[in-house]
Structure 1
Amino acid sequence: MTTPKNATGQTPFSLVFGAEAIIPTEMVYPIAKTSIRDPQTNDENLVQDLDTVEELRDQERFRMVTYQQKIAGAYNKNIRIRRFRVEDLVLQKAFQNKTKPADGNLAPKWEGPYLIESKAGKGAYRLMNMEGDMLPRAWNAFHLKKYFC
C-alpha cells in the first residue's frame, strides 16, 4: 500500500486519503519524517492536503492515461495488420482438429489455397475453395496469409 505505482507515481493511500501513510514502526522509532512534525501544524497540513487531493487525483488521471498510451504504443508497434482484397488467394491456418494425428510435427501448418469471396467485417473475410464451395464461416485475417503461386 505504501509503494508508488508506475502508472500514477503515487501510493494508493495518498490518492484516497490525501496524505502519505505512516507505518506503526515509524511511530515507535522516531525518524525525520515523524519527529519533525508538530501536532498543531500537522493538522493544518492534513486539512490543506485534503483540499488539494482532487487536484492531485486529476493530475494522476492524466499521468495514468499518458502511461497507458505509452504502453499501448509499445505493444502496437509490432502489430502487422493483414489486409486482403476480394479475389486474393490466401492460405488458411491448419488447426489441430483438422490435421491427421499420425502426421505429428510433419503435418502441414497451412491449407489451401482459398479465394477471398467478400469482406465479413473488420479484419474478417469469407472464403471460397477452388471448386467454388463457400467455407461455412468467416475467417479472421490473423489466420490467413497471402498465397503466392
Structure 2
Amino acid sequence: MLPVEILAPTAIYGLTIVGSNQDEMLQDLDTVDELRDMAKIQLASYQHKVANSYNKNVHIRTFVVGNLVLRKVHPNTMDANAGKFVDAWEGPYFVDDVMGR
C-alpha cells in the first residue's frame, strides 16, 4: 500500500472486501492444477508444431550394402593449408554394413 492510499484510499482498495478476496484466492488455488495442465497441453502442441516445421525438409535416405557414398570433410579434419577450393566431400566409399536407419 502506498502512503497516499493510507489517507485517501483508491477505489480499488476501498471497494475490496477481505472475505471476497480470500474466496477469490481460494478459487485460484483450486484452479491452479487445471491451469498447469492447460499450459502443458499448449507447450506440447507448440513443440509438435515446431518439430513438424523442422522435419518438413528432412529426407530419409536408406543405403544398402554395395552402394557408393561420399563423406563430408569437416573443417577440423581438413588440411590446414588446403585453401578455399578444397573438395567438400571425399570418397567414394562402399557401404559394407547397414546399421539401423
TM-score (norm 1): 0.53
Matches within 5 A, 1:16-27: 27=1
Instruction: Name the structure 1 match of 2:59.
Output: 80
Deviation at 1:83, TM superposition (A): 2.3
Instruction: Name the structure 2 match of 1:116.
Output: 95
Match of 2:23 among 15, 21, 44: 44
Provide the C-alpha distance between the structure 2 equivalents of 1:78 and 1:118, rounded to a whole number of angstroms: 27
Structure 2 unaligned residues grouped into runs of 5+: none
Match of 2:34 among 55, 72, 81: 55
Provide the C-alpha distance between the structure 2 equivalents of 1:117 and 1:40, rounded to a whole number of angstroms: 77
Whose relative contact order is higher, 1 or 2, with alpha carbons under 8 Å and at least 6 apart? Answer: 2
Residue-pair matches, total: 95
Deviations 1:41-68 (A, max 9, x none): 1111111111121122122221211111
Structure (1/2) with the larger strand percentage = 1
Structure 1 unaligned residues grouped into runs of 5+: 1-26, 123-149
TM-score (norm 2): 0.73
Q: Percent identity?
A: 40
CA RMSD of aligned residues (A): 2.5
Greater Cα radius of gyration, structure 1 or 2? 2
